[in-house]
């Protein structure tokens, strides 16, 4: 049980700090939608992607609120039985029906208290950095009583807004600025703190904190050096086909099962995403080769080896994260040829997307044939090739292919569907 005086000190310190916190640039979130509902609002995402800042932005739209951050080292031993005293101290010092809680997953059985708050008529906002922990507890205790916001590092649109670029009026000067910033974003990614301060150590430190604090410590991983090598291997080989057994043999990991568990741990902390080959049978999705994509190109550039030919893979990774940001269910397609992304909606493939730096004499046949094969397989009349800066339409038989610059796609100049 936490000492009441210490707990009160923490509450008051944190409240004062939160009131002074910079709200930053407003994120692309439908604030009205989440403020109007009585449901719990859950903000989930990787460390340092801006969850606390988004919580601050929500607070500015509330008349009053209670606030606590469980990342505070003074709350390391905070337990379920301490929640009641927390509520008492909140009521003693403030008066509100809005509750904001940061990094809630650090407290065991937190969902019991959150459920109680909702039943008592409180509007609750929570953040968390572990997808599995949140999803399991949300599913068991809060089913049908919450809205989930999956927060990612800045999108390219948000990055331009940060740089005060008005992309809605596409003059020649504006386009030149956009293209320069696109190159910067492609390799530096969108972590808010890095985009603002350009501190190279930030990316490495954040990665290291996630590896050690969120994964190695939580999962009690013993072979620390091997796990670090494994994570680096995935980051180095992002956007390439991999299989569990091959990874196990290459890195001398004892079994494919250990590889699966390691990937699961990295996914739960939002460092990587696993992409499966599409098959009509759901069971078949999980067989065969997978592709790994990473949360942020800047983090990937900082902690893994890069080569000149990686530019196309950086572009592909950027498109994948944008698709995830838009809530798409994504697979890759492979038969005779390969299509980078096919989008599933309600059990049916609705979109086929190929990504490459540029379409040229060396790759056109491969890229176009892979896309056409996917379009024929899923009976699609139109497909898309996203490149750095090519824009044209191709008609091949009864199929239409739109070539669109990735930067235009990311600015919503084109919504594929």
Tens of pLDDT along 350-406? 999 999 999 999 999 999 999 999 999 999 999 999 999 999 999 999 999 999 999
Alpha helices in 142-171 (DSSP H): 156-162
Summarize the confidence of residues 282-290 as an average pLDDT.
Answer: 73
More confident residue, 280 or 371: 371
What confidence score (pLDDT) does residue 416 get? Answer: 41
Which CA distances in Å does 43 have to 50, 149, 229, 417?
A: 10, 5, 30, 27
- Residue 287: count of CB within 10 angstroms of its CB: 12
Number of domains in the chain: 2
Whether residue 354 is contained in a domain is answered as: yes
Is 266 found in the same domain as 374? yes
Is 229 found in the same domain as 140? no
Whether residue 160 is contained in a domain is answered as: no
What confidence score (pLDDT) does residue 118 get? Answer: 94
What confidence score (pLDDT) does residue 414 get? Answer: 44
Which of 125, 150, 175 marks a domain boundary?
150
Give the span between the Cα atoms of 211 and 253, in whole angstroms.
18
**Structure tokens given for 266:** 């990295």
What confidence score (pLDDT) does residue 282 get? Answer: 65
Looking at the predicted structure, is the pLDDT value of residue 285 above 70?
no
Give the span between the Cα atoms of 292 and 237, in whole angstroms.
8
Is 212 found in the same domain as 318? yes
Which CA distances in Å does 153 have to 45, 97, 107, 365?
A: 9, 30, 25, 35
Whether residue 205 is contained in a domain is answered as: yes
- In this structure, of 100-104, 118-122, 141-145, 349-353, the range with the lowest mean pLDDT score is 141-145
- Each as own residue / partner, the long-range contacts of residues 275-281 (CB below 8 Å, 24 or more positions apart, any chain) are 275/320, 275/330, 275/331, 275/332, 276/331, 276/332, 277/331, 277/332, 277/333, 277/334, 278/331, 278/332, 278/333, 278/342, 278/344, 278/349
Is 207 found in the same domain as 127? no
Vertex 306: Cα angle to 301 and 309 (nearest 5): 125
Question: Nearest Cα to 187, choosing from 203, 205, 170?
Answer: 203
Instruction: Please report which confidence band the pLDDT of residue 141 belongs to, taking 50, 70 and 90 as the band edges.
Output: confident
Is 115 found in the same domain as 47? yes
Measured N-to-C along each axis, helices 244-251 and 256-268 cross at an angle, to the nearest 10 degrees, of 100
DSSP-assigned letter for residue 322:
H
Question: Nearest Cα to 228, choosing from 189, 262, 273?
Answer: 262
What confidence score (pLDDT) does residue 138 get? Answer: 75
> Do 191 and 48 form a contact (C-beta atoms < 8 A)?
yes
What confidence score (pLDDT) does residue 287 get? Answer: 72
Looking at the predicted structure, is the pLDDT value of residue 164 above 50?
yes
Is 353 found in the same domain as 220? yes
83: three-class secondary structure by DSSP: helix
| CATH code: domain of residue 81 | 3.40.50.300
Q: Which domain holds residue 338?
A: 184-410
What confidence score (pLDDT) does residue 2 get? Answer: 81
Instruction: Please report which confidence band the pLDDT of residue 283 belongs to, taking 50, 70 and 90 as the band edges.
Output: low
Is 301 found in the same domain as 193? yes
Is 192 found in the same domain as 65? no
Looking at the predicted structure, is the pLDDT value of residue 41 above 70?
yes
Q: What percent of the chain has pLDDT over 70?
A: 96
What confidence score (pLDDT) does residue 142 get? Answer: 79
Mean pLDDT of the chain: 93
What confidence score (pLDDT) does residue 305 get? Answer: 75
Is 406 found in the same domain as 259? yes
- In this structure, of 12-26, 75-89, 302-316, the range with the lowest mean pLDDT score is 302-316
Whether residue 173 is contained in a domain is answered as: no
């Amino acid at each position: 049980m936490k000492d009441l005086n210490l707990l009160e000190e923490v509450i008051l310190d944190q409240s004062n700090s939160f009131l002074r916190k910079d709200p930053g640039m407003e994120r692309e979130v439908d604030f009205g939608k989440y403020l109007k509902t009585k449901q719990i609002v859950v903000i989930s995402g990787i460390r340092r992607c801006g969850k606390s800042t988004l919580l601050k932005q929500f607070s500015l739209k509330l008349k009053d609120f209670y606030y606590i951050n469980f990342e505070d080292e003074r709350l390391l031993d905070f337990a379920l039985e301490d929640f009641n005293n927390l509520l008492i101290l909140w009521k003693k010092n403030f008066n509100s029906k809005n509750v904001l809680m940061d990094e809630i997953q650090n407290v065991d059985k937190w969902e019991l208290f959150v459920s109680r708050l909702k039943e008592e008529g409180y509007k609750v906002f929570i953040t968390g950095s572990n997808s599995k922990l949140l999803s399991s507890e949300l599913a068991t205790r809060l089913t049908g009583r919450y809205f989930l916001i999956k927060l990612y590092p800045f999108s390219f649109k948000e990055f331009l807004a940060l740089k005060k670029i008005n992309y809605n009026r596409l003059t020649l000067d504006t386009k030149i600025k956009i293209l320069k910033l696109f190159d910067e974003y492609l390799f530096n990614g969108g972590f808010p703190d890095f985009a603002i301060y350009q501190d190279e150590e930030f990316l490495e430190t954040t990665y290291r904190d996630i590896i050690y604090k969120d994964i190695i410590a939580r999962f009690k991983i013993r072979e620390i050096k091997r796990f670090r090598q494994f994570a680096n291997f995935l980051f180095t080989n992002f956007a390439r086909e991999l299989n569990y057994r091959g990874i196990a043999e290459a890195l001398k990991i004892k079994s494919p099962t250990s590889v699966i568990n390691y990937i699961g741990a990295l996914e739960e902390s939002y460092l990587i995403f696993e992409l499966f080959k599409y098959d009509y049978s759901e069971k078949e999705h999980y067989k065969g080769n997978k592709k790994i994509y990473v949360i942020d190109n800047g983090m990937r550039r900082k902690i893994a080896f890069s080569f000149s030919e990686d530019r196309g893979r950086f572009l592909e990774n950027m498109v994948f994260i944008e698709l995830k940001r838009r809530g798409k269910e994504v697979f890759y397609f492979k038969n005779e040829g390969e299509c980078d992304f096919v989008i599933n909606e309600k059990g049916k493939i609705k979109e086929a997307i190929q990504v490459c730096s540029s379409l040229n004499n060396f790759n056109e046949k491969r890229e176009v044939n892979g896309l056409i094969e996917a379009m024929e397989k899923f009976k699609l009349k139109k497909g898309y090739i996203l490149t750095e800066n090519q824009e044209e339409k191709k008609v091949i038989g009864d199929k239409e292919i739109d070539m669109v610059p990735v930067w235009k796609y990311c600015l919503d100049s084109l919504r594929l569907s």
